Amino acid sequence: EDQVTQSPEALRLQEGESSSLNCSYTVSGLRGLFWYRQDPGKGPEFLFTLYSAGEEKEKERLKATLTKKESFLHITAPKPEDSATYLCAVQGGNTGFQKLVFGTGTRLLVSP
Amino acid sequence: DADVTQTPRNRITKTGKRIMLECSQTKGHDRMYWYRQDPGLGLRLIYYSFDVKDINKGEISDGYSVSRQAQAKFSLSLESAIPNQTALYFCATSDSLSDTQYFGPGTRLTVL
């Protein structure tokens, strides 16, 4: 069964203090790994899709990387507006529709 | 205007009542999904639809039903609401060329 584990559950940073969030996964045939940002009371907002080990994608202060067992979301010089819950999800299988399996998220708080 | 809208945004109802949550999208996507989110459990798939004539159960469909009224509209019904259906409900969409799903703002449902 596909599984996603995110760590830490919660992370508090000072503004400008860089760090990384971890997403460990087990899946039979990775089709895609997805990162979302979720603000309180809102729906998940799509950030990145990664498809193969070694792939990296960047957006502003965020950089997502992928290995065969985990993905990291690196946050460089974070600002208070980066505070949110970050969700990781994987989709496995080689054919047909396969549901996304979500982790429970990392709650990030960036203090000024 | 938002690409994916959900109504109502908040709903309080009583045990045994029938309730419908509605989702509309202007993204032109053919695939639509319903999820629920509970603290500590992550997002779980309730139902999904690949076109107007296609409806499929997800991992937690018991107690729920859906209707795809048009390509842009997908509604979720709770036939007889129970307290453990209290949760955040999200609609999502994707197109057949990409596995990336885009989420609506959510409906907070409370069953007393």
Per-residue pLDDT at B1 exceeds 70: no
Backbone φ, ψ for residue A81 (5° rounding): -70, -10
Determine the distance in angstroms separating the CA of B106 from the nearest CA of chain A, rounded to an integer: 6
pLDDT bin (cut points 50, 70, 90) of residue B101 is very high
> Containing H/E element for B104?
none
Q: How far apart are CA B33 and CA B19, in angstroms?
A: 18
Per-residue pLDDT at A65 exceeds 90: yes
Closest by Cα among B107, B77, B32 to A42: B107
pLDDT bin (cut points 50, 70, 90) of residue B9 is very high
Per-residue pLDDT at A109 exceeds 90: yes
Q: How far apart are CA B67 and CA B20, in angstroms?
A: 10
Per-residue pLDDT at A96 exceeds 70: no
Per-residue pLDDT at A79 exceeds 70: yes
> Residue B110 CB: number of other CB atoms within 10 A?
14
pLDDT of residue B2: 66
Per-residue pLDDT at B18 exceeds 70: yes
Task: Report pLDDT digits (tens) over B30-55.
Answer: 999 999 999 888 899 999 999 999 99
Determine the distance in angstroms separating the CA of A94 from the nearest CA of chain B, rounded to an integer: 13
pLDDT bin (cut points 50, 70, 90) of residue B85 is very high
pLDDT of residue B108: 97
**A41–B106 C-beta distance less than 8 A:** yes
CB-based contacts of A20: which residues, under 8 Å, 6+ apart? A72, A73, A74, A75
Chain A residues with CB-CB distance to B105 below 8 A: 42-43
Q: DSSP secondary structure string, B15-60?
A: TT--EEEEEEE-S--SEEEEEEEETTTEEEEEEEEEETTEEEE-TT
Mean pLDDT of chain A: 94
Picking from B45, B90, B106, the nearest residue to A99 by CB comes out as B45
Q: How far apart are CA A20 and CA A81, in angstroms?
A: 17
